[in-house]
Amino acid sequence: EAQVTQNPRYLITVTGKKLTVTCSQNMNHEYMSWYRQDPGLGLRQIYYSMNVEVTDKGDVPEGYKVSRKEKRNFPLILESPSPNQTSLYFCASSWSRKSYNEQFFGPGTRLTVL
């Protein structure tokens, strides 16, 4: 089944404790992206990747890192999480960066930073 998977789905952590949220897609998509969803703010793009070893900042990159060593994986790294990073995170992928491509979303990761 074609899908985007994220792990973990739920995570509660404490300020300053490094964490990684994994994202994997099995559709051979070139383009992958991370968003955060906050009440009243919709979805905002954190980072995106147009292909292996090519990443770039989105609208709200502060406090996050990403890597794209393999085409299928695009982990989101929080080196020193803070409470303002408590949010719902979505990974998405599409065939390419072409703007008409539909993005496929993962199931979401709900992160709470205490």
Residues binding other proteins (CB under 8 A) = 31, 33, 35, 40-45, 48, 50, 56, 58, 88, 90, 97, 99-100, 102-103, 105, 107-108
Nearest to other proteins of 80, 96 (CB atom):
96
Tokens linked to 84: 């303002």
What is the closest distance, in whole angstroms, from the C-beta atom of residue 61 to other proteins in the complex?
Answer: 12
Task: Please give the Cα distance from 36 to 28 (Å, whole number).
Answer: 23
Smallest separation (angstroms) from other proteins to the CB of 79: 23
Q: Would you say 36 or 75 has its CB closer to other proteins? A: 36
Give all strands (DSSP E) within the chain, no chain letters.
4-7, 10-13, 19-25, 31-38, 42-51, 54-57, 65-66, 76-78, 87-94, 104-105, 109-113
CB of 53 to other proteins, least distance (A): 16
Beta bridge mates, 7: 22
Return the closest-CA partner of residue 28 out of 7, 11, 52, 45.
Answer: 52
- Residue 11 or 88: the one with the smaller Cβ distance to other proteins is 88
Q: Which is nearer to other proteins, 95 or 105 (CB)?
A: 105
CB of 36 to other proteins, least distance (A): 11
